[in-house]
Amino acid sequence: MTGKVYLVGAGPGDSKLITLRALELIEKADVVLYDRLVSKKIISMIPKTAKKVYVGRAVGDDTTHQKGTNDLMVEYAKSNKHVVRLKGGDPIIFGRGGEEAEFLKDHKVKYEIVPGITSGIGSATYAGIPLTHRKYSSSVVFVTGHEDPEKKQEIVKDAKYVSTMTEERKKQIVKSVMFKLRVIRKKEAINSQLSCFINF
Ligand SMILES: C[S@@+](CC[C@H](N)C(=O)[O-])C[C@H]1O[C@@H](n2cnc3c(N)ncnc32)[C@H](O)[C@@H]1O
């Protein structure tokens, strides 16, 4: 089998923030499977010779959809295609990229992971907010607003009950995360300077 899947990060939205490696792979692709968060401008950069397949999943979609995407990656790779699985931000920060890599490995498909600028960092930096600063913040935490409901040990208390992320619910999650961080800080004696990015 000569096919291979590239799990590629498209960056946080602005097409100029995609990496040269990502562009190089997109230009050589036979198939591009892309997500909801990949910007239109980046999609327009996919060559006409490549097959474009939208595999976007809205928040809350069940796992059937993910299974379809996983199967497509394997199917194309096994027919010797150069497959780009294009994901918003960084491919393995949230968004199930790690699970996709595991699936490929289990199905003996060659793959490579190409980092992208994650929105958590990109948005803060674009807004001029230093997530670390020698005086004010010595560490950063990324927290999801949507944990796997089957997970036994929750990080974000009550997050599994979230269906529509209302402003009130967001406030509750922030409160719960801040509480946990205080506990962690006390336990681990982590420096009290901490930035926190929550992915809603
Ligand atoms: C499933 S996560 C994917 C994160 C992505 N892998 C990353 O590294 O940025 C989806 C969440 O990321 C954020 N996000 C990422 N890229 C975005 C974009 N271009 N526009 C709006 N929100 C974005 C939103 O908070 C959204 O709910």
Integer Cα distance of 39 and 29 in angstroms: 18
- The domain segmentation of the chain, as residue ranges, is 4-125, 163-200
Give the Å distance between the CA of 119 and the centre of ligand 1: 6
pLDDT in tens, 4-35: 999 999 999 999 999 999 999 999 999 999 99
Specify the pLDDT at position 161: 34
Specify the pLDDT at position 106: 98
- Reading the block at residue 12, the tokens are 């946080």
- Reading the block at residue 34, the tokens are 């892309």
Which DSSP string do the residues of 19-57 spell out, in sequence order? Answer: -HHHHHHHHH-SEEEE-TTS-HHHHHTS-TTSEEEE---
Q: Where are the alpha helices (DSSP H) in 50-196?
A: 63-78, 97-106, 119-126, 167-188
Give the Å distance between the CA of 89 and the centre of ligand 1: 6
Beta sheet of 82-87, edge-to-edge order: 51-54, 31-34, 82-87, 4-9, 110-114
* Amino acid sitting at position 71: D
Atom 11 of ligand 1: nearest residue by CA position:
199
Give the Å distance between the CA of 85 and the centre of ligand 1: 16
Write down the CATH number for the domain with range 4-125. 3.40.1010.10
Instruction: Pick 181 or 77 by higher pLDDT.
Output: 77
Atom 5 of ligand 1: nearest residue by CA position:
89
Give the Å distance between the CA of 182 and the centre of ligand 1: 26
pLDDT in tens, 61-73: 656 688 999 999 9
Give the torsion through C-alpha atoms of 110, 13, 26, 58, to 10 deg.
60
Atom 3 of ligand 1: nearest residue by CA position:
95
Ligand 1: which of 16, 119, 121, 123 to mutate, most ligand atoms within 8 Å of CB? 119
Give the Å distance between the CA of 13 and the centre of ligand 1: 9
Specify the pLDDT at position 27: 97
* Ligand 1, CB within 6 Å, residue ranges: 12-13, 37, 87-90, 93-95, 118-119, 199-200
pLDDT in tens, 125-141: 888 888 888 888 777 77
